[in-house]
């Protein structure tokens, strides 16, 4: 492939390429609210057809459709391009632009950024990858791999129906040699970070109301003065929650919670030793606006805590009157959204039963647990896999020595590809930067010249990754 | 006074009288949201002028204006008519009509009811009392007392600026012989309940965020996976809250919380002995949709618990993502709205320092306490006061033997009238029914013929109370 010809096309069509990203974020696709999902799926299917996928379609499931596309390059090797087209809700306070508006604004020191829900998680990368592919074919080159596009619309809901698609298309998918997920892996200063896996996750709600408990108000919040003779589901839930962790909130006190936690493997420890040298903890903290880590740990200790601790987190909690000023009510119900992140060798299936047993043992049988997602298992690909090596080679070609993380603390449905029935190496990558996923003012950098790559660099890196994958797989 | 002539006028003008109540609830006056306050105050001032108050005005304070009116009847005795014109917010789910719409609908078994925010708390009674006064003068009779109207607009905010008004008008107010608060005191079955006082209240917020704590995210909610190495203000607050009560949420574990709780006085115990005989606990529970009281107590034990227990209540709690579905965030902040109800001889001033000391002692110095209201002291008027006896006499004239409660568990600014500087007997009363204050579908009965009085009976009872007060004070 004549990379330079492709790169020139990318540069020449910068404005149109930004426009595609804006179009994507303007098309809502908030899976938690079932908002704009099908319209967004149709948009992506049309993109795939435009690219030249002879077969591009919405594959229905019990949930949101998967956008499937097959690009036949007549190549020896085939790669699954995993993408997600759904996003988180956009209801957080603090947005400086409308989160679905597609606004490109200056954000020092990065230069012009697209600030929008989904900008970095992950419509920005999805659009950039398609732009890159179009630039290859636009200059008369051929994409060097057959591509199987799998864009799912329920990643933010735990990819609950993706296994249905995988089972239905297993014979097609099994023909692939690897799975590639286009991401943008530079940090704020431009350092390239590469992650070889993910933690698993289980997401659930705890709920207590007077009706199911038998104590407290059963149907509505009542006047607060009745606390004198009526039980409070809210105060009761507080007691139950308090038994789950240590006083600082950081050690999980559920029996057997840590039983299956494995120490880092030798390969992981090797990676951690290297990682420690370049790990820029001040930048990490600055991005999150966090002053210090738990117990004020630093360096390797912080890395080990981050990567090898399973967690119990309250994502949200609410009960009673949550408006301005005062309203005296005794609430009839309290709801708590929680997630548990799994490290090797924990499993999704072990979590809820352990929490159920813990609550029962502590006398809180009345508290209801509802699993909200199917959950993901943890997933890891070895650094020695050719697919991983192809991405590392790309980074070096662009002048970056990547900082390699044995996995990240976040979760994604990679287990669905690198475990049974597909057992494929899974790799992600891309040279670009964005931030504030799941937070206000989520952004992706589009302009070149700042500390990180912009959209042009990101698209070039995808072209090079495809090229290297075709040679190394 | 020729009561029958007045009663006939009330009956003949039923439709117009209902209309006044509808006008009142349609005029929003939500003090927590500063919504419609001044418009509602102006409306009431105009009502007072129409009634014949030569002096009717808005008295400005640092907060919402007090509507003051003086009705000079040339009488020997003077009574302060205490009223409130503000309401709670109307944002609870579950309303079957728009809460500010002024809808009169059939609500079996009561017959036609006005269902609206403020219907019973307390625009319904305010409108009914003014209707009653107008019916007296309309038939050529004279109101038998000079009336000092004091309608405040911050009752739902803890009457925080009412003392400013009282101090400014103290020389006028001191001329009064008693204070009367028009209420509607029948329960669902029509039994008249009379309450001689209130508990005190302190309302405050507990708050913890990463910025003030120094741990956790400081400015916005961050990706939930960071729980592995970033502290959670939410989990920490849970730990702090859990130290405040026993496991069932009912015993307050704050040092010295119960120190100043006095046993019921001999006069109170006399009232309780009588009250026990008519106390209809099933109706009380049915109105609240509560299956059982704390510890499943009944009868006298329930009454003692209700009236003589100080309480610590969570009115509202929220943190993080509280929308549908899943969103994995580590919240940067948690807010808890709480109130403490005071029984004799507790004081407003003792509460916050005790909670502060408790949190500090347990290692939670980082949790911020913000008092949201000035608070009310508890207040009680003796059953032997002539003002109380005048209301009791009225009930008996209407065929009701009132069930007398030594005080109620709710709170109101009665302390501002029956303590220094005014030291006036404070009495409330009225024969009518409504319910669901602070809850969806708040209502007041307007139609006669059901188990309770309607608007006509309520207005008649106010006429008779004024008549009896004029003879017995």
Best residue in A317, A338, A405, A407 for a mutation probing chain B (most B CBs within 10 Å) = A317
Beta carbons of B232 and A314 less than 8 Å apart: yes
Using CA coordinates, name the residue in chain A closest to B324: A32
Cβ-proximal residues to B129 (8 Å cutoff; 6+ apart), any chain:
B81, B83, B182, B430, B459, B462
State whether B32 and A223 contact (CB < 8 Å): no
Predicted pLDDT at B435: 93
* Residue of chain B whose Cα is closest to the Cα of A233: B249
Q: How far is B225 from chain A (nearest CA, A)?
A: 5
At residue B463, what are phi and psi to the nearest 5 degrees? Answer: -60, -45
Q: Which domains does chain A have, with CATH numbers?
A: 3-198+379-472 (3.40.630.10), 200-261+310-371 (3.30.70.360)
Confidence class for position B438, pLDDT limits 50, 70, 90: confident
Nearest to A386 by CA among A208, A204, A123, A145: A145
Give the per-residue pLDDT at B412: 85
Q: What is the DSSP letter of A184?
A: -
Tell me the pLDDT band of B387, cut-offs 50, 70 and 90: very high
Mean pLDDT computed over A145-169: 94
What residue ranges in A11-163 does DSSP mark as E strands? 55-59, 66-71, 78-84, 103-107, 111-115, 146-152
Q: How far apart are CA A435 and CA A452, in angstroms?
A: 12
* CA separation for the pair A13, A344 (Å, rounded): 44
State chain A's mean pLDDT as an integer.
96
* Structure token digits, residue B386: 């002539």
CA dist., res. B185 & res. A365, Å (int): 40
Omega before residue A266 within 30° of 0, cis: no
Q: Where are the alpha helices (DSSP H) in B54-114?
A: none
Query: What's the confidence (pLDDT) of residue B456?
Result: 98
Closest Cα in chain A, distance from residue B442 (Å): 11
Residues A335-347: tens digit of each pLDDT: 999 999 999 999 9
pLDDT at B304 over 90: yes
**Would you mind telling me the total number of residues written for chain B in this entry?**
473
Taking CA–CA distances from A204, the nearest residue in chain B reads: B326
Q: Crossing angle, helix A124-138 and helix A455-472, to 10 degrees?
A: 70
pLDDT value of residue B126: 98
CA distance B138 to B136: 6
B12: nearest Cα among B131, B97, B173 = B131
Q: What angle do CA B451, B454, B460 make, to 5 degrees?
A: 120
Percent of chain B with pLDDT over 90: 92
Would you state the pLDDT for residue B155? 92
Split at pLDDT 50, 70, 90, the class of A411 is confident
* List of chain A residues whose C-beta atoms are within 8 Å of the C-beta of residue B311: 225, 227-228
Structure tokens at A239: 């007691």
Q: What is the pLDDT of residue B411?
A: 86
Cβ-contact A371, A446 below 8 angstroms = no
- Please report residues of A whose CB lies closer than 8 A to that of B320: 314-317, 337
Mutate to test the interface with B, among A195, A239, A315, A371 (most CBs of B within 10 A): A315
Strand extents, DSSP E, A103-192: 103-107, 111-115, 146-152, 178-182
Chain B residues near residue A309 by CB distance under 8 angstroms = 228-229
d(C-alpha B145, C-alpha B106), whole Å = 37
Q: Give the model's pLDDT for residue A287.
A: 87
Q: Would you state the pLDDT for residue B241?
A: 98
- Whether B428 and B185 have beta carbons less than 8 Å apart is answered as yes
| Helical ranges in B202-341 per DSSP H | 210-213, 233-242, 266-278, 281-288, 299-308
* Closest Cβ–Cβ partner in B293, B320, B373 for A314: B320
Q: What is the mean pLDDT of residues B238-243?
A: 98
Q: Do B223 and A320 touch (CB under 8 A)?
A: no
**B410–A236 CB contact, under 8 Å:** no
CA distance B375 to chain A (A): 11
> Strand A426-429 relative to strand B78-84: parallel, antiparallel, unpaired?
unpaired
Q: Which residues of A touch B337 (CB under 8 A)?
A: 320-322, 326-327
**C-alpha distance across the termini of chain A, in Å:** 16
Rounded to 5 degrees, φ, ψ at B317 are -150, 140
Mean pLDDT, residues B405-424: 91
Contact B217 A289 (CB under 8 A): yes
Predicted pLDDT at B375: 87
Contact (CB<8Å) A323/B32: yes
Q: Do A247 and B363 touch (CB under 8 A)?
A: yes
Determine whether B349 is exposed, middle or buried from the number of CB atoms within 10 Å of its CB (0-12, 13-18, 19+). Answer: exposed
The ipTM (two decimal places) reads: 0.86
Tens of pLDDT, residue by residue over B97-134, are: 999 999 999 999 999 999 999 999 999 999 999 999 99
For helices A124-138 and A14-26, the axis angle rounded to 10 degrees is 140
Structure tokens at B157: 């905010």
**pLDDT of A327 over the 90 cut:** no
Helix (H, G, I), strand (E, B) or coil at B7: helix
Q: Given pLDDT bands bounded at 50, 70 and 90, which one contains residue A53?
A: very high
- The torsion angles phi and psi of A320, rounded to 5 degrees, stand at 70, -145
Does residue A158 have a pLDDT over 90?
Answer: no
Q: Which of A53-57, A395-399, A435-439, B289-293 has the lowest mean pLDDT?
A: A435-439
β-sheet bridge partners, residue A335? A207, A318
Partners of A334 in the β-ladder: A208, A319
Radius of gyration of chain A (CA): 23
Cβ–Cβ below 8 Å for B314 and A320: yes
- Closest Cα in chain B, distance from residue A436 (Å): 7
Give tens-digit pLDDT for A280-314. Answer: 899 899 989 999 999 999 999 999 999 999 999 99
Q: Which of A4-18, A128-142, A154-168, B105-119 has the lowest mean pLDDT?
A: A154-168
Provide, as residue numbers in chain A, all residues whose Cβ is less than 8 Å from the Cβ of B325: 31-33, 89, 156-157, 372
Cβ contact B216–A334 (<8 Å): no
Kindly tell me if the per-residue pLDDT of B324 is higher than 90.
Answer: no
- Indicate if the pLDDT at residue B325 is higher than 90: no
CB–CB contact A242 B242 (8 Å): yes
CA distance B161 to B64: 8
Give yes or no for a contact between A111 and A445, defined as CB atoms under 8 angstroms apart: yes
Pairing of strands A443-445, A434-435: antiparallel
Cα gap A360→A117, rounded to integer Å: 40
Give A339's contacts in chain B (Cβ within 8 Å): 224, 326, 328
Q: What is the dihedral of CA A311, A313, A315, A318, to 10 degrees?
A: 160
User: Is the per-residue pLDDT at A326 higher than 90?
Assistant: no
- Collapsing DSSP to helix, strand or coil, B53 comes out as coil
Question: What span, in angstroms and rounded, lies between the C-alpha atoms of A95 and A118?
Answer: 13
The helix (H) or strand (E) run that includes residue A8 is helix A3-12
Helix (H, G, I), strand (E, B) or coil at A301: helix
Tell me if residue B349 falls in helix, strand or coil. helix
Residues 6 or more apart whose CB falls under 8 angstroms from that of B318 comprise: A317, A318, A319, A322, B334, B335
* Contact pairs from chain A to chain B, CB under 8 Å: 349
**Best residue in A203, A216, A224 for a mutation probing chain B (most B CBs within 10 Å):** A224
Q: Tell me the nearest-neighbour CA distance from A33 into chain B, angstroms.
A: 7
Please, where are the H alpha helices in A309-448? 348-361, 386-397, 415-418
Residues of chain B with C-beta less than 8 angstroms from the C-beta of A247: 239, 363
Q: How far B330 CA lies from chain A's nearest CA (Å)? A: 6
Chain A partners of B410 at a C-beta cutoff of 8 Å?
223, 225
Task: Give the residue carrying structure tokens 């790799």.
Answer: A427
Q: Which of B228, B234, B302 sits opposite A311 (nearest CB)?
A: B228
> How far apart (Å, rounded) are the C-alpha atoms in residues A91 and B455?
45
CA B405 to chain centre: 16
For the stretch A196-246, pLDDT in tens is 999 999 999 999 999 999 999 999 999 999 999 999 999 999 999 999 999
Taking an 8 Å cut-off on Cβ atoms, the answer to whether A230 and B410 are in contact is no
Interval A93-112 mean pLDDT: 96
| B203 chain-A contacts, CB cut-off 8 A | 326, 328
The per-type count for chain A, helices as H runs and strands as E runs, is 15, 20
Q: Contact B235/A245, CB-based, under 8 Å? A: yes
| Angle between the N-to-C axes of helices B386-397 and B455-472, in degrees from 0 to 180, rounded to the nearest 10 | 140
- Residues of chain A with Cβ-Cβ distance to B223 below 8 Å are 410, 437-439
Q: Confirm if B454 and B416 have CB atoms less than 8 A apart.
A: no
| Confidence at residue B374, expressed as pLDDT on a 0 to 100 scale | 78
Residue of B nearest to A440 (CA): B220
**What CA–CA distance (Å, rounded) separates A160 from A149?**
18
Residue A149 burial (CB < 10 Å; 0-12/13-18/19+)?
buried
- Predicted local distance difference test score (pLDDT) of residue B327: 87
| Distance of alpha carbon B159 from alpha carbon A444, whole angstroms | 50
Distance of alpha carbon B219 from alpha carbon B210, whole angstroms: 7
Encoding tokens for residue A89?
Answer: 């809700």
Q: Which of A31, A338, A26, A316 has its CA nearest to residue A155?
A: A31
Q: Average pLDDT for residues A134-146, to the nearest whole number?
A: 98
CB-nearest partner of A232 from B313, B319, B324: B313
Q: Look at chain A and count its residues.
A: 473
A206 φ/ψ sector (left φ>0, alpha ψ -120 to 50, else beta): beta
Residue with tokens 């501002």, as numbered in its chain: B416
Cβ <8 Å between B438 and A223 = yes
Write out the DSSP string of B313-329.
EEEEEEEE--SSS---E
Cα nearest neighbour of A303 on chain B: B229
Share of chain A above pLDDT 70, in %: 100
Distance in Å, alpha carbon of A23 to nearest chain B alpha carbon: 24
The Cα of A255 is separated from the nearest Cα of chain B by a number of Å equal to 18
């Amino acid at each position: 492939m004549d990379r330079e010809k492709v790169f020139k096309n990318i540069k020449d069509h910068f404005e149109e390429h930004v426009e595609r990203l804006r179009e994507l974020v303007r098309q809502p696709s908030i899976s938690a609210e079932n908002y704009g999902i099908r319209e967004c799926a149709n948009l992506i299917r049309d993109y795939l057809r435009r690219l030249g996928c002879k077969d591009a379609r919405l594959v229905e499931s019990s949930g949101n459709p998967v956008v499937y596309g097959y690009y036949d390059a007549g190549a020896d090797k085939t790669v699954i391009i995993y993408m997600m087209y759904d996003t988180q809700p956009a209801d957080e306070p603090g947005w400086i632009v409308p989160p679905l508006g597609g606004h490109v604004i200056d954000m020092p020191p990065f230069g012009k950024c697209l600030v929008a829900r989904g900008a970095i998680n992950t419509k920005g990368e999805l659009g950039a990858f398609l732009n890159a592919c179009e630039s290859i074919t636009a200059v008369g080159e051929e994409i060097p791999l057959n591509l199987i596009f799998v864009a799912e619309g329920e990643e933010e809901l735990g990819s609950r129906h993706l296994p249905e698609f995988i089972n239905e298309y297993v014979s097609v998918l099994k023909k692939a040699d690897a799975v590639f997920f286009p991401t943008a892996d530079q940090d704020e200063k431009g350092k390239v970070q590469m992650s070889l896996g993910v933690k698993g996750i289980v997401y659930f709600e705890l709920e207590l109301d007077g009706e199911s408990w038998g104590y407290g108000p059963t149907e509505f919040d009542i006047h607060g003065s009745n606390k004198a003779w009526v039980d409070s589901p809210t105060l009761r839930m507080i007691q139950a929650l308090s038994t789950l962790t240590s006083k600082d909130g950081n050690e999980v006190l559920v029996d057997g919670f840590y039983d299956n936690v494995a120490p880092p493997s030798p390969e992981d420890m090797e990676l951690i030793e290297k990682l420690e040298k370049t790990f820029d903890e001040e930048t990490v903290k600055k991005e999150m606006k966090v002053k210090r880590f738990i117990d004020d740990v630093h360096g390797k200790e912080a890395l080990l805590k981050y990567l090898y601790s399973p967690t119990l987190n309250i994502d949200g909690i609410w009960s009673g009157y949550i408006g301005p000023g005062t309203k005296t009510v005794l609430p009839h119900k309290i709801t708590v959204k929680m997630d548990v992140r799994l490290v090797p060798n924990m499993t999704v299936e072990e979590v809820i039963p352990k929490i159920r047993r813990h609550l029962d043992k502590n006398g809180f049988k009345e508290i209801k647990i509802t699993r909200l997602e199917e959950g993901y298992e943890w997933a890891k690909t070895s650094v020695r896999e050719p697919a991983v090596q192809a991405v590392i080679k790309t980074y070096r070609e662009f002048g970056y020595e990547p900082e390699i993380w044995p996995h990240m603390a976040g979760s994604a449905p990679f287990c669905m590809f690198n475990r049974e029935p597909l057992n494929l190496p899974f790799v992600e990558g891309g040279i670009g930067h964005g931030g504030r996923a799941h937070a206000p003012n989520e952004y992706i950098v589009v302009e070149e010249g700042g500390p990180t790559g912009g959209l042009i660099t990101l698209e070039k890196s995808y072209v090079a990754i495809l090229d290297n994958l075709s040679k190394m797989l």
